Amino acid sequence: MDVKEMSSLSLAFVGDAHFGLTVKEYLVNKSDAKPQQLQKISTHYVSAKAQASFISYFIENEILTEKEMDIYKRGRNAKTNNVPKNTDVQTYHMSTGFEALWGYLYLSKNEERLGQLWDIIKTIVGE
């Protein structure tokens, strides 16, 4: 299937998985901490609140291209049946948009852009 024709929720599904793996690989390579500690640290990256803050930063600093903003908005506005447990609905939708963008870039094999955004995220978190 052409990535441009995928649903935003499918992009978010893939984006969530790839972003989570990116975070875990980074943390394992960076630290010799125990898995329980790594899991706690990873929440600075993979929580809805964290992802919403990343996308907010990208938007406020005009980092995203027009196409990337379109993908983000499609993901943010997607209708879901999920009810957030630990966050408000707006933050949840923003994080879904972030994941859709990440999934789109990954499936489009745009590794250079993923690397650029990842470097910014590491700076935001303070790693």
CA-based angle 97:99:105, to the nearest 5?
Answer: 105
Q: Which residue has the tokens 């630290």?
A: 31
Structural domain count, the chain = 1
Contact 75, 98 (CB under 8 A): yes
Handedness of CA 112, 117, 123, 127 (dihedral sign): negative
Q: Which positions are catalytic? A: 16
User: Whole-prediction pTM value?
Assistant: 0.93
Q: Domain containing 90 — which CATH number?
A: 1.10.1520.10
Q: What is the pLDDT of residues 91-126, one digit of tens each?
A: 999 999 999 999 999 999 999 999 999 999 999 998
* Domain ranges, residue 99: 3-125
Q: Residue 88 region, left (φ>0) first, then alpha (ψ -120 to 50), else beta?
A: beta
Q: Length of the chain in residues, anyone?
A: 127
Per the structure block, which two tokens stand in for 101? Answer: 């963008």
pLDDT per position as a tens digit, 1-41: 688 889 999 999 999 999 999 999 999 998 888 888 898 88
